[in-house]
Amino acid sequence: MSSPDDQQLVDVILAEQLHYTNDETAERGGLTPEQAARLWRNLGFPDPGSEMAFGDADVSAVAIVATAMEHQILDEETVFRLTRALGQTMSRLADWQVTILVDQLEADIVRGKSDSRADAALELAQSSVPGFERLMVHVWRRHLAAAAARLTALGENDQALLSTDMTVGFADMTRFTALSNRLDEASLASVVEDFETRCGDLITSAGARVIKTLGDAMLFVHPDPVKATRISLDIITAIGARAKLPDVRVGLATGSVLSRLGDVFGPPVNLAARLSQVARANRVLVDQQTADALGDHFETRALPPRPIKGFGHLSPITVTERRTFRSR
């Protein structure tokens, strides 16, 4: 059972009272109870049963979905696929935001700005939620525009809509298990966030896309193998210069990649991950297709063949900066 302070915080964030059941919300919004229950599940919420768990904003959300289906703007399956993507993304975003804000709450208490975490959370919610809500919608629109532009750039080729050639990078911290056993939770969280921040900045600023992070690793894509390799070498340099961060290794593979549900799939994704696992610390390993596309931009050297899980025996290729020689 939630405490009065917890309930007050929930009320401030939702900005309304919850006084409808699922069936009542469905009826007012224009869906069947079964469709409404499926909508909440897709959005990441448990079955509320007969509990009064919904408010007027929930009715409006149901009405948006009902209108889209009623006027055949979107078919039912498309609507529920979109809501599933929305629910999974927003759930992760909310957890991420709360984790970050806890640090702010503790700092407010230490500085005497608030008497308790509950008071600090309530004040933060009252002052910050409206502005960040507008920011969130703005950022979503920007990303939607960027994704639409990428789709438009593929032209009318139906096959390109299904898959496209990409270079996939997998940057992986070394000895992470040993590190996680040695550090306390706060220190480990700081290491992971520092790694994600620095890697993410290097990747996005160079025109690549971060697909996802997996704690000790980051998956990214770029349509240009040369630029993807440059990013990888920059990651090695930047992370290696940080004394508080472990060494990193990067695997790169190029080929046809399927993009679906915010993720990427295909042999290049799996091969990039495998190459990062066999790479030495502070090294970049690439597959033959990536190496063939690099021309004379970098030094490449084929390593002895070795078993790569799922790919048989392959010769990984190590990539380094091209050395320049000065005449005396």
The burial of 145, by beta-carbon neighbours within 10 Å (0-12 exposed, 13-18 middle, 19 or more buried), is given as exposed
Mean pLDDT computed over every residue of the chain: 85
> 117-153 vs 4-14: helix axis angle to the nearest 10?
30
Higher pLDDT, 53 or 162: 53
What was the pLDDT predicted at 303?
94
pTM exceeding 0.75 = no
What was the pLDDT predicted at 267?
95
Higher pLDDT, 238 or 47: 238
Mean pLDDT is lowest, of 21-30, 111-120, 238-247, for: 111-120
Give buried/exposed letters for 170-198 (b at 16+ CB in 10 A, else e).
Answer: bbbbbebeebeeeeeeeebeebbeebbeb
pLDDT tens profile 219-242? 999 999 999 999 999 999 998 777
Q: How far is the C-alpha of 231 from the C-alpha of 204, rounded, in Å?
A: 10
Which of 103-112, 232-241, 268-277 has maximum average pLDDT?
268-277
Band of pLDDT at residue 163, cut at 50, 70 and 90: confident
CATH number among 3.30.70.1230, 3.90.1300.10, 3.40.50.1820, 1.10.3720.10, domain 160-321: 3.30.70.1230
> What ranges do the domains of the chain cover?
4-155, 160-321
What was the pLDDT predicted at 328?
45
Higher pLDDT, 102 or 6: 102
What was the pLDDT predicted at 162?
60
What was the pLDDT predicted at 176?
78
What the block records as the tokens of 100 is: 């970050």
Band of pLDDT at residue 1, cut at 50, 70 and 90: very low
Mean pLDDT, residues 159-170: 79
Q: How far is the C-alpha of 223 from the C-alpha of 225, rounded, in Å?
A: 7
Q: How far is the C-alpha of 164 from the C-alpha of 95, rounded, in Å?
A: 32
Among 300, 249, 302, residue whose Cα is nearest residue 277? 249
pLDDT tens profile 194-207? 888 889 999 999 98
- Amino acid symbol at 119: D
**Taking 80 as the threshold, does the pLDDT of residue 314 lie above it?**
yes
Helix (H) or strand (E) holding 143: helix 117-153
- Amino acid symbol at 291: A
**Taking 50 as the threshold, does the pLDDT of residue 286 lie above it?**
yes
What was the pLDDT predicted at 112?
75
Higher pLDDT, 56 or 175: 56
Can you say whether the dihedral through the CA atoms of 187, 193, 195, 201 is positive or negative? negative
SS3 assignment, position 209: strand
Mean pLDDT, residues 127-148: 85
Q: How far lies 3's CA from each of 6, 8, 46, 105, in Å? A: 5, 9, 20, 18
Band of pLDDT at residue 326, cut at 50, 70 and 90: very low
**Taking 70 as the threshold, does the pLDDT of residue 250 lie above it?**
yes
What was the pLDDT predicted at 327?
47
What was the pLDDT predicted at 318?
96
Q: How far is the C-alpha of 193 from the C-alpha of 195, rounded, in Å?
A: 5
